[in-house]
Amino acid sequence: MASVKVFGSPTSAEVARVLTCLFEKEVEFQLIRVDTFKGQKRLPEYLKLQPQGQALTFEDEKMTLVDSREICRHIAEKYQEKGNRDLLGSGTLERASIEQWLQTEAYSFDPPASALVFNLAFAPLMDIEKDEEVIERSKKKLIKVLDIYEQKLAETRYLAGDKFTLADLSHLPNAHRLVTNAGCRSLFTSRKRVNRWWEEISNRASWRNVVGMQQEAPPMI
């Protein structure tokens, strides 16, 4: 049995980010589906690890982590010799660049992207009225971020250089939700280099595997 366990639903951005990293590193893992969005009964094993019922719990032997970006760093470091060896870079300068763009994703891209995903994708399913002011404000913030990406991608193939790294991987879950939404798709497709970048990273086998898992019906618990 795999020593790595992931508790959560692939439809969660946090879980999807970790699963993509595991596929990139070719690390064997066990996914214990806990679909909190649909209100399914949580597994007792999961509640022992995460009493508050957060979206994600990652267990690797005796280590337990809950932050997806921290988990991805852990996977890339611990399993450096497996799968894609470029995720965290091979030297100080490469890693510094990757960390810089990971911070950009976490603090500049993710907040407006998550707000848009919630209002456009999940609010209707939860019968919650969309907040149009938040949507417009978030779009404006995201436009500024993607304009920066467009400039950067004129210089390099990917955000942190010419290799696919965690800096790119971390964007996949929320960007996927936005690109597949008619109201947000043009934010990516209207920018030639951003669109080219998105097409490349979203067609990686690791992400396609996760998208397939998202489309599978969760087991009854």
Is residue 125 domain-shared with residue 211, that is, in the same domain? no
Is residue 129 domain-shared with residue 156, that is, in the same domain? yes
Q: What is the span of the domain harbouring residue 9?
A: 4-86+207-215
Residue 211 and residue 17: Cα distance in Å, rounded? 11
* 7 three-class SS: strand
pLDDT tens readout for residues 69-106: 999 999 999 999 999 999 999 889 999 999 999 999 99
Using the 8-state DSSP alphabet, how is residue 191 labeled?
Answer: S
Close Cβ partners of 194 (under 8 Å, ≥ 6 residues apart): 146, 149, 150, 153, 188
Is residue 181 domain-shared with residue 198, that is, in the same domain? yes
Is residue 82 domain-shared with residue 96, that is, in the same domain? no
| pLDDT value, residue 43 | 45
Is residue 162 domain-shared with residue 211, that is, in the same domain? no
Structure-token pair, residue 189: 């497709």
Close Cβ partners of 156 (under 8 Å, ≥ 6 residues apart): 162
Is residue 115 domain-shared with residue 198, that is, in the same domain? yes
Is residue 76 domain-shared with residue 128, that is, in the same domain? no
Q: Tell me, yes or no, whether 220 lies in a domain.
A: no
Structure-token pair, residue 78: 């611990």
Structural domain count, the chain: 2
Q: Tell me, yes or no, whether 23 lies in a domain.
A: yes
**Chain-centre distance of CA 126, in angstroms?**
22
CB contact at 8 A, 66 and 49: no
What pairing do the DSSP bridges indicate for beta strands 4-8 and 63-65?
A: unpaired
Structure-token pair, residue 61: 């032997």
Is residue 74 domain-shared with residue 108, that is, in the same domain? no
Query: Which residues, listed in sequence order, are joined to residue 58 by a DSSP beta bridge?
Result: 6, 65
Half-sphere exposure for 181 (CA within 13 Å, toward CB): 20
∠200-195-177 over CA atoms, to 5°? 85
Nearest 10 degrees: Cα torsion 5, 172, 179, 190: 180
pTM of the model: 0.89
Q: Tell me, yes or no, whether 145 lies in a domain.
A: yes
Q: Domain containing 180 — which CATH number?
A: 1.20.1050.10
Residue 94 and residue 55: Cα distance in Å, rounded? 31
CB contact at 8 A, 194 and 153: yes
Q: Which residues of the chain have pLDDT under 50?
A: 37-53, 219-221
CB contact at 8 A, 13 and 71: no
Closest CA to 31 of 52, 51, 2: 2
